[in-house]
């Protein structure tokens, strides 16, 4: 068994879902209610490597020291909830260089940083990994440009998952046969954008609608389940 665990350690939020217009009042109200638009943080445990995908960072436009400190504490507490410490992490994979996805990198001081392309100006030592390169057994990099030019996702090839249900299904085992999970980053920003065939193109470095469509199609051809850049995992009803 190459991949032992996949955990959605921290669930990110968005300033605007696909059904909402990009109105500043909506964003202000969400900020007022404590929604800071940080990304998902995903933990992957394999036989020989523990990987974090993106680091989450709420209120990315707030560069104050207090916000950075709060983000750091929130991430460490989220990891602790899953019995993970920063020292357990061997590698951090960054899907793309937006602060809501990499802002907590300094939490993982001893980990190797990986990305499809390094960000030259940030000063992090980063190992560049190629399209379709396997970074651990069962974990493959997939170039998914569109949201940004050098965006990449991870394709997780799993063994069968056997789960013993509890509660109303006591004694009932559920078997998921060899699922493929794609950690999509902002190639598929959330479930609502997937449902409406939309893409997050509000960022100034948005690369291409054509590439966004192609990347989403590639993900949907591969994935049984998708972990988007923001929000919970969902079943890919489009496959097949």
Q: Which of 70, 79, 11, 78 is nearest to 50 (CA)?
A: 79
At 193 the pLDDT is: 97
C-alpha torsion sign, points 2, 74, 105, 53: positive
- Confidence tier at 175 by pLDDT (50, 70, 90): confident
Q: How far, in Å, CA of 78 to CA of 150, rounded?
A: 28
Q: Which two tokens stand for residue 137?
A: 């057994």
Q: Residue 64 above 90 pLDDT?
A: yes
Q: How far, in Å, CA of 238 to CA of 223, rounded?
A: 9
In whole numbers, what is the pLDDT of the chain averaged over residues? 93
pLDDT digits over 198-234, tens only? Answer: 999 999 999 999 999 999 999 999 999 999 999 999 9
Read off φ and ψ for residue 157, nearest 5 degrees. -95, 115
Q: Residue 4 above 80 pLDDT?
A: yes
Tell the residue number behind the tokens 């079943």, with chain if given. 235
- Confidence tier at 86 by pLDDT (50, 70, 90): very high
At 203 the pLDDT is: 95
Q: Residue 111 above 60 pLDDT?
A: yes
Q: How far, in Å, CA of 71 to CA of 77, rounded?
A: 10
Q: Which of 214, 141, 120 is nearest to 183 (CA)?
A: 141
From residue 132, alpha-carbon distances to 2, 107, 176 in Å are 17, 28, 25
At 166 the pLDDT is: 64
Q: Which of 76, 43, 40, 42 is nearest to 58 (CA)?
A: 40
Q: Residue 178 above 70 pLDDT?
A: yes
Cβ of 19: how many Cβ atoms within 10 Å?
Answer: 10
Q: Residue 170 above 60 pLDDT?
A: no
| Domain residue ranges in the chain | 3-235
Report the run of H or E that residue 9 belongs to, with start and end.
strand 3-10
- Confidence tier at 172 by pLDDT (50, 70, 90): confident
- Confidence tier at 187 by pLDDT (50, 70, 90): very high
pLDDT digits over 10-62, tens only? Answer: 999 999 999 999 999 999 999 899 898 899 999 999 999 999 999 999 999 99
The correct CATH number of 3-235 out of 3.60.15.10, 3.40.50.300, 3.40.1360.10, 3.40.50.10490 is: 3.60.15.10
56: region left, alpha or beta (phi > 0 left; psi from -120 to 50 alpha): left
């Amino acid at each position: 068994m190459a991949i032992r665990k996949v955990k959605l350690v921290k669930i990110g939020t968005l300033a605007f879902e696909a059904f909402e217009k990009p109105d500043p009042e909506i964003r202000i109200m969400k900020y007022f209610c404590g929604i800071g638009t940080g990304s998902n943080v995903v933990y992957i445990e394999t036989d020989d490597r523990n990987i974090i995908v993106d680091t989450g960072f709420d209120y990315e436009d707030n560069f104050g020291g207090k916000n950075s400190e709060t983000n750091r504490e929130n991430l460490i507490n989220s990891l602790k909830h899953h019995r993970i410490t920063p020292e357990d992490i061997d590698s951090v994979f960054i899907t793309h260089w937006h602060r809501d996805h990499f802002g907590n990198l300094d939490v993982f001081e001893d980990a190797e940083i990986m990305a499809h392309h390094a960000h030259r100006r940030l000063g992090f030592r980063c190992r560049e990994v190629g399209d379709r390169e396997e970074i651990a057994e069962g974990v493959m990099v997939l170039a998914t440009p569109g949201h940004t030019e050098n965006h990449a996702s991870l394709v997780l090839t799993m063994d069968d998952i056997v789960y013993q249900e509890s509660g109303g299904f006591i004694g009932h085992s559920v078997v998921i046969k060899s699922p493929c999970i794609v950690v999509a980053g902002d190639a598929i920003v959330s479930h609502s954008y997937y449902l409406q065939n939309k893409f997050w193109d509000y960022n100034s470095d948005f690369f291409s609608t054509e590439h966004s469509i192609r990347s989403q199609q590639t993900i949907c051809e591969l994935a049984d389940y998708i972990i988007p850049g923001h929000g919970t995992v969902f079943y890919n009803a489009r496959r097949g």
